[in-house]
Structure 1
Amino acid sequence: MSSEILAVLEYMEKEKGISREDMIATIESAIKTAAERGVNSSGDVRVDISAKTGAMKAWSRLEVVESVSDTFCEIHLDKARLYAESPQVGDFVERELDPSYLGRIAAKTAEQAIKQRLRQFEKEHIYDEFRDQVGNLVTGIVRRKDRGDLVVEVGKAEALLPWRERVPGEDWVPGERIRCLLNKLEQHGRGPELILSRSSLNFVRKLFDMEVAEIADGTVTLAAMAREPGYRTKVCVRSTDPKVDPVGACVGARGARVKSIVREMNGEKVDIVRWFEDPIEQLAEALKPAIPQNVTLDREKRRMYFEVVEDDLSVAIGRKGINARLTSRLLGWKLDIGKVVVKQVGFDERKSKAADALTSVGIEFEVADRLVAFGLVSPEAFEGVTAEDLVGLGFEQETADTILDKVSSEEEVDSPSPESNSEEQES
């Protein structure tokens, strides 16, 4: 039995990290309890195990009496002299027991105590190992699915990725490697429980910390973030160094940094925008390529109203309103989006304006209205038109000559004569 105990002690010490003294104390306590409940139910037993050899010894503690009434806890004065020198009535002596006499129950109890201590140690070890890693990224292996949750092996511990902390559209199978945020470390009666997350904003924040050196050293900071897990994330960045472009630092050379982040997020879109103090400027930056117009602010209610042209409306709102919601969270303002109303000029109005342009040169309104109907909508449109052309349109010869005279006189007024040009050059 000593060799078996020694093998257990060495295994626990080398493989599990439990000290030999700790395991000896655990085994001794378990065997003592089992022996007192079994072979010596009303007595007191002392157990000792050698740390070097694993040899176990046991003693029964008996009270010295003149008349024995209970052999399990009392011993006659004459017999007590075999175990102690000059014993007196009322003294206690220890009588060595054969370890095999303790029986199968003691051995089984010792086995259970070893397993229980091992489980307790593993729980303590898990808590000590991960209590300082809460809020950091951890990498593990997906082991199984449990009613929508994923059980992930992280080191020697099992962690849980609940369905509410998963990203919609992601599907993981057992054996796949997964990176998550260690979101919580909860203590339960059965031991510590590791709770993971991939939908948290802090998951994206830690990815940026890991990929962007300027964020890690504090040169670039994440001023604001908003996320719809599985669809899109908006990140607002600013730089403490005017020489460092915060957006360029996050994107990286040829987009290498942001591509690495997007790949880790399974293709989720990431928009990186520059931070501005002015909310109107920040709105314009966050909505690109849509351009907000007619922006009005209600600072008391932190509400912002703006308009975009019809072509930009779908871009500003986004699929299922995602872009508008993310922009609202990023700015911390409620958004009211409207459409720019473009006033359409009707045919009658255009015709009236064209007729006015002709009457301004002296042509009668009725004549001008007829000319516009034939497509002659401005004085410039008469270039190359002759009196015969107008007669062909139904105008009388005299009226045609009058029209051309007035149009010609208007062109002469608008265009300076060659003599005046030469005089201006000479002056």
Structure 2
Amino acid sequence: MGTELLDALTVLESEKGIEKDFIIEALEAALESAYKRNFDQAQNVRVDINQTTGSMHVYAQKEVVDEILDSRLEITLEQAHEYNSAFAVGDTVEIEVTPRDFGRVAAQTAKQVVTQRVREAERGIIYNEFIDREDDIMTGIVERQDSRFIYVNLGKVEAILSKNEQMPNERYHAHDRIKVYITKVEKTSKGPQIYVSRTHPGLLKRLFEIEVPEIYDGLVEIKSVSREAGDRSKISVFSSDPEIDAVGSCVGTKGQRVQAIVDELKGEKIDIVEWSENPVEFVSNALSPAQVVNVTVDPTNQSTTVVVPDYQLSLAIGKRGQNARLAAKLTGWKIDIKNETNAAELGIFPFVEGAQADKEAEAAPVEVETVTAEVTAEPVVTEEVVEEVTAPTFVVDIEPAANTEE
């Protein structure tokens, strides 16, 4: 088995990147255990593999003593002198004890050790490759799913997509190609375990980096991301170059760039806003598409009071408070939204008489015929509208989201 083993180790070293010396050391340790187990020997032994010929030898290590208490571990001075007259009491003598049929044991052990080391080395290579891909995006193929996980093939390893990380509006089928965000890579006894997500805000950021060259080149910077996966997201962008339109770069010609991301996220709506170090401008932009009349900042409490036109209150708040909630996460500021009428009553912002009616008329223009036909309508409708638009306030109090900058 000598030269054949060395040739096999050489091939492994070139193909798998596993050092020959590393496997030989492991093989020697395994052969020592195999010798003690198969030949009922408990003494100290050492296995030596000749890296030139591949031959294997087993040596028993015994201490030179005046009186033997355990013949398996000790040897007298007279016996030691039979091997070398230079030995003295306290020295260690190595005596070859290689069994005749040790080759059979060695072959079986070598197979097990080499297989184990190759598996460990491959796991190590995969772990080292994917640990560098944490917080990155990859394309995988859905292989199978059970009640807890969807298993995504990333090429060399199978990743886990848990229920909490799946988008609620998506249905996954075998052989579907999907983009996933790698959230964590763990080293386990069964090899590296990769956890991926479809709901992480980082997925949205990486998709923009892929679709928008200006972001990839560093000309446009993504400052923050807030996301409610499968429904709506907001992203703030900024460019230090005044000649570059950060928002326009992300939208693309006829919206092609952002549309590609929307398609990948199965129709998730995306608001792209301009970032500003001025909280007044940033909060105003973050509440888009609602128009903002005034923003009052309270730096001490990290909060803002926003005044919007009466007819835009529901738009600023959003469905189930979503627009305001996403804006608060995006900016990191608490947002208290009030309409103009309520703000004027509280003395927060002056209300200009007649301006509200003009804004309402601009927001919902109607034909003259329609207005004339509805002149005889009961005034109760007007009272209901007034009651609705004078809703007192809507407050979003939320912890700032972690900045997604790398």
**TM exceeds 0.5?**
yes
AA aligned opposite 1:202: G
Give 1:186 deviation, angstroms: 3.5
Q: Deviations over 1:366-414 (max 9, x none)?
A: xxxxxxxxxxxxxxxxxxxxxxxxxxxxxxxxxxxxxxxxxxxxxxxxx
CA 1:303–1:156 in 2, change beyond 3 Å: closer, same or farther? same
CA 1:53–1:266 in 2, change beyond 3 Å: closer, same or farther? farther
Contact 1:59 1:97 in 2 (8 A): yes
The match for 2:271 is: 271
CA 1:243–1:107 in 2, change beyond 3 Å: closer, same or farther? same
Contact 1:62 1:95 in 2 (8 A): no
Measure the CA separation in 1 of the matches of 2:42 and 2:225: 69
Q: Deviations over 1:243-280 (max 9, x none)?
A: 11111111122323222322332332211122345544
The match for 2:328 is: 328
The match for 2:130 is: 130
The match for 1:170 is: 170
* Structure 2 counterparts to residues 192-211 of structure 1, below 5 A: 192-211=192-211
Say which is worse superposed, 327-336 or 290-299, in terms of deviation. Answer: 290-299
Contact 2:305 2:338 in 1 (8 A): no
CA 1:56–1:291 in 2, change beyond 3 Å: closer, same or farther? same
Q: In structure 2, list runs of 5 or more residues that go unmatched.
A: 342-352, 355-406
CA 1:80–1:261 in 2, change beyond 3 Å: closer, same or farther? same
AA aligned opposite 2:234: K
CA 1:146–1:99 in 2, change beyond 3 Å: closer, same or farther? farther
Contact 2:284 2:295 in 1 (8 A): no
AA aligned opposite 2:251: V
AA aligned opposite 1:47: V
Give the root-mean-square deviation of aligned CA atoms.
3.8
* DSSP-derived class of the 1:243 partner: coil
The match for 2:216 is: 216
* DSSP-derived class of the 1:199 partner: coil
Measure the CA separation in 2 of the matches of 1:288 and 1:253: 21
CA 1:103–1:72 in 2, change beyond 3 Å: closer, same or farther? farther
Q: Deviations over 1:270-317 (max 9, x none)?
A: 11122345544444434444333465555544132424344x444333
The match for 1:31 is: 31
The match for 1:410 is: none
* DSSP-derived class of the 1:133 partner: coil
The match for 2:12 is: 12
Measure the CA separation in 1 of the matches of 2:295 and 2:42: 89
**Greater C-alpha Rg:** 1
AA aligned opposite 1:58: V
The match for 1:308 is: 309
Q: Sequence identity, in percent?
A: 39
Give 1:72 deviation, angstroms: 5.4
CA 1:89–1:292 in 2, change beyond 3 Å: closer, same or farther? closer
AA aligned opposite 2:331: L
* DSSP-derived class of the 1:97 partner: coil
* DSSP-derived class of the 1:185 partner: strand
The match for 1:95 is: 96
Q: Deviations over 1:16-60 (max 9, x none)?
A: 321111111111110112202331513343323344554434344
CA 1:289–1:253 in 2, change beyond 3 Å: closer, same or farther? same
Measure the CA separation in 2 of the matches of 1:89 and 1:283: 87
Contact 2:142 2:172 in 1 (8 A): yes
Give 1:66 deviation, angstroms: 11
The match for 2:49 is: 49
Contact 1:167 1:199 in 2 (8 A): yes
AA aligned opposite 2:305: M
The match for 2:114 is: 114
| Total equivalences in the alignment | 340
Measure the CA separation in 2 of the matches of 1:80 and 1:328: 84
CA 1:57–1:319 in 2, change beyond 3 Å: closer, same or farther? same
* Structure 2 counterparts to residues 274-423 of structure 1, below 5 A: 274-293=274-293, 298=298, 300-301=300-301, 302-310=303-311, 312-338=312-338
Measure the CA separation in 2 of the matches of 1:288 and 1:46: 76
Q: In structure 1, list runs of 5 or more residues that go unmatched.
A: 344-427
Say which is worse superposed, 51-60 or 224-233, in terms of deviation. Answer: 51-60
AA aligned opposite 2:160: L
Higher helix share goes to which structure?
1
AA aligned opposite 1:333: W
Measure the CA separation in 1 of the matches of 2:52 and 2:175: 43
Measure the CA separation in 2 of the matches of 1:16 and 1:325: 51
Give 1:240 deviation, angstroms: 0.8
* DSSP-derived class of the 2:117 partner: helix
Say which is worse superposed, 254-263 or 56-65, in terms of deviation. Answer: 56-65
Measure the CA separation in 2 of the matches of 1:85 and 1:26: 31
Say which is worse superposed, 228-237 or 174-183, in terms of deviation. Answer: 174-183
CA 1:336–1:73 in 2, change beyond 3 Å: closer, same or farther? closer
AA aligned opposite 1:318: G
